[in-house]
Amino acid sequence: MLAIRHLSKTYHADRSLVPAVNDVSLDVPRGSFFTLLGPSGCGKTTILQCIAGLETPDRGEIEIDGAPVYSSTLNINEPPNRRRLGMVFQSYAVWPHMTVFENVAFPLRQSRPRLSRQEIGTRTKAALASVRLDGVADKLAPFLSGGQQQRVALARALVHEPRLLLLDEPLSNLDAKLREEMRTEIGRLVRELGITAVFVTHDQIEALTMSDSIALMDGGRVVQQGAPHDIYYRPQSAFAARFVGNGNIIPGRVALGPDAEGNAEIVTPFGRVGCRLPTGVAHGSNIDVIVRPDAMRVCNGEAPTEETLNFFRIQISQASFIGDFIEGIAHAGPATLRVRLGPHTAIQPPYVAVVEVLTDRCVVLPRRD
Ligand SMILES: Nc1ncnc2c1ncn2[C@@H]1O[C@H](COP(=O)(O)OP(=O)(O)O)[C@@H](O)[C@H]1O
Ligand SMILES: [Mg+2]
């Protein structure tokens, strides 16, 4: 539906060059909810603005519905209003002097050929109903809550039935409770209407819960792309493991093996683990073991000896009560390990615990250093 090929964009600011987007290629299937996820400054907004036609790329191709809207090779650059897209920004950008109805009707009043009053009325009311704002159509926008203003922006983006809905961090200005509500609401709406959405966020929870597919970005590039489950459980880099899911990254070395099946023993600062290695990782290599909270079990009872594989005896030096769990932090040299303990664990650091590492849920990555 949306295809981006080799998109690059460098800003020229104060005689310095800022490479914002660097050779990005993406495919967004029709009807899918696609998310650009990454830290602030990684180029997400720039990509969205290039899709919308609000920024001009340096080179690359952007195709919507099989037709180029931008192409550096064919010298095509369609103006934003011809691209038929809907856009929602982080700042709601609703007009304060207009009623809710007028805000949403605005794009229809601008459209050429002109639409009849009746047509505008019908379509505006339908858009308001879809975001559950039909009760406040006559209110002036500033009298609405933040969540309602966000819905106005959403209805306005949807009213002219865009080919593609672009959402740039639309939930960042809402408080936690409302953010969760709007997350569900936007997800529902996009699926009900069957529209294709490109969503931008730096929030891993938003990305994981809302998306069919995620492109994880770092420094202007897409570093990994896949379904939320893949991105979470199969990080391809330490960056991905750290950015999504708070993975522990434990440095280690392949001390025994790998055997014909790829099984090996790894020495880490916390203890030894038996793990399957990815192909190409040889005996003696330095690697990182990614251990997420759900790949560990804190054990009671008999402490295993130091040679027992997959059991770490750790000393927790710091503990934080999070609500439904306690997060304990243990150090071994420069390496740290975060573990989750039951919320009622009586823990007084320094506290010695034994954790079992569930190695089939761990990921081993070759270390690049
Ligand atoms: N108009 C601009 N002029 C100069 N630099 C910009 C401009 N817009 C963005 N940048 C820079 O480009 C990079 C990518 O920005 P942006 O696409 O906004 O990232 P994100 O949305 O992921 O936070 C950043 O380094 C940012 O400072
Ligand atoms: Mg941005």
Task: Measure 178 CA to ligand 2 centroid, in angstroms.
Answer: 21
Last residue of a domain, one of 199, 224, 240: 240
Task: Assess whether 204 and 285 both reside in one domain.
Answer: no
Task: Assess whether 288 and 213 both reside in one domain.
Answer: no
Structural domains in the chain (count)? 2
Task: Measure 197 CA to ligand 1 centroid, in angstroms.
Answer: 22
Task: Assess whether 191 and 257 both reside in one domain.
Answer: no
Q: Is residue 320 part of a domain?
A: yes
Task: Assess whether 115 and 39 both reside in one domain.
Answer: yes
Task: Assess whether 229 and 137 both reside in one domain.
Answer: yes
In this model, does residue 303 exceed pLDDT 80? no
Last residue of a domain, one of 182, 211, 240: 240
Q: Is residue 164 part of a domain?
A: yes
Pocket lining: 46 vs ligand 1, CB cutoff 6 Å: yes
CATH number at residue 33: 3.40.50.300
How many residues in total does the chain contain? 369
Predicted local distance difference test score (pLDDT) of residue 96 = 87
Q: Which range marks the domain in which residue 267 is found? A: 246-364
Q: Determine the atom of ligand 1 nearest the C-alpha atom of 169.
A: 21
Task: Assess whether 203 and 299 both reside in one domain.
Answer: no
Pocket lining: 39 vs ligand 1, CB cutoff 6 Å: no
Q: Is residue 263 part of a domain?
A: yes
**Token couple for 180:** 């969760």
CATH number at residue 300: 2.40.50.140
Task: Assess whether 136 and 251 both reside in one domain.
Answer: no
Task: Measure 41 CA to ligand 1 centroid, in angstroms.
Answer: 6
Q: Is residue 105 part of a domain?
A: yes
Last residue of a domain, one of 197, 221, 240: 240
154-170 mean pLDDT: 93
Task: Assess whether 88 and 130 both reside in one domain.
Answer: yes
Q: Determine the atom of ligand 1 nearest the C-alpha atom of 168.
A: 21
59-64 mean pLDDT: 98
Residue 301: pLDDT band with limits 50, 70, 90? low
Task: Assess whether 133 and 222 both reside in one domain.
Answer: yes
Task: Assess whether 220 and 276 both reside in one domain.
Answer: no
Q: Is residue 369 part of a domain?
A: no
Q: Is residue 317 part of a domain?
A: yes
pLDDT digits over 120-135, tens only?
999 999 999 999 898 9
Predicted local distance difference test score (pLDDT) of residue 11 = 95
241-261 mean pLDDT: 91
Q: Which residues of 276-291 are buried (b: 16+ CB within 10 A; e: fewer)?
A: bbeeebeeebebbbbb
Residues 353 and 265 sit within 8 Å (Cβ to Cβ): no
Name the residue with higher pLDDT: 345 or 9: 9
Task: Assess whether 222 and 262 both reside in one domain.
Answer: no
Task: Assess whether 220 and 286 both reside in one domain.
Answer: no
